[in-house]
Amino acid sequence: MDKQLGFVGLGKMGGPMAARLLDAGYALTVCDVRQDLVDALVAQGARAAASPRAVADAADTVLLSLPDPGVVREVALGKAGVIGGARVRTVIDLSTTGAMVAREIAAALAARDIAAVDAPVSGGVGGASKGTLAVMAACPKARFAELEPVLKVFGRVFFIGEHPGMGQTMKLANNLLSATAMAATAEAVAFGVKAGLDPATMIEVINAGSGRNTASTDKFPRAVLPRTFDFGFTNGMMYKDARLCLEEAGAAGVPMPVGEVVRDQWQKVVESLGAERDFSTVALLAEQAAGVTIGKS
């Protein structure tokens, strides 16, 4: 395929992914609302564009990595959006929007003969930098085969299905489990510490036993026990993903009583600690409730 790509959204996830495309030899035209992020990619060899539409004037394939469904909708379909680009033929959305928004955007793009690829990613900022993300792609099989080399730059690529929104459903299911693991592990470790157990030893035992999960293997050792709280994903983003999952499950007629509790817990984290703080700070809420400190004092 054409080695000229466009990329809109150069934040914590998009910036490292765009840099990996440059390293892989792709020519890249980029855009972001933050000029410093654009400048950083230009310094690595990218071209700057003034708007998403200008990116779509320069590239056949445009990738999006954006924070929420409203921003994705505006970037894709707005007045200065990708949909108005003269050259673009394919839009790959790496964001988490939910299936309903993915289908809406795909239909609008299709009316302009632009193909939409629903391809959310999971694996955090570390995965974006290292190229170890899980990429959940939904699009016609032939287009998947064409685009797979690009997506493999980001990590392991999974073909989820042919219809827009299928990638989003997979991503929301995954992130609900991630949100659950983080909140539950925080409460379990706070309980142990309250009873006099050492939190580092607890994590070792959990990881050797049946309680092992993504929070105990990665987030707690890296961000909670050392109390850096800097894993790279915000409370607001986690709450958004849990909320989207519950909304779409409700629309599909699938009850999620456990998911409702998890969503409400992340809403409480956002209200208590702030949407922009790292999602590993969920441990602080468990600490406050138990009257303990997890990790270094």
Where in the chain are the domains? 4-163, 169-290
pLDDT number for residue 30: 98
One-letter amino acid at 25 equals: G
Question: What's 169-290's CATH class?
Answer: mainly alpha
Q: Dihedral of CA 17/83/239/243: which sign?
A: negative
pLDDT number for residue 295: 81
Among candidate residues 3, 79, 152, 171, the one labeled active-site is 171
Q: pLDDT digits over 177-211, tens only?
A: 999 999 999 999 999 999 999 999 999 999 999 99
Give yes or no for a contact between 68 and 42, defined as CB atoms under 8 angstroms apart.
no
The 3-state DSSP class for residue 282 equals helix
Give yes or no for a contact between 63 and 5, defined as CB atoms under 8 angstroms apart.
yes
pLDDT of 296 strictly over 90: no
pLDDT number for residue 260: 98
Span 49-61, average pLDDT = 97
4-163 and 169-290 share one fold: no
Give yes or no for a contact between 83 and 26, defined as CB atoms under 8 angstroms apart.
no
Distance CA 67, CA 158 (A): 22
pLDDT of 2 strictly over 70: no
Contacts of 287 (CB under 8 A, 6+ apart): 190, 293, 294
Question: Among all chains, which residue has been given the structure tokens 């924070």?
Answer: 67
Task: Report phi then psi at 138, rounded to 5.
Answer: -130, 120
Give me the CATH topology for the region 4-163: Rossmann fold (3.40.50)
Give yes or no for a contact between 86 and 139, defined as CB atoms under 8 angstroms apart.
no
pTM of the full structure: 0.92
Span 71-97, average pLDDT = 97
pLDDT of 55 strictly over 70: yes
Distance from CA of residue 149 to its chain's centroid? 20
Span 157-178, average pLDDT = 97
Percent of the chain with pLDDT over 90: 96
pLDDT of 3 strictly over 90: no
Q: What is the mean pLDDT of the chain?
A: 96
194 catalytically annotated? no
pLDDT tier at 1, thresholds 50, 70, 90: low
pLDDT of 297 strictly over 60: no
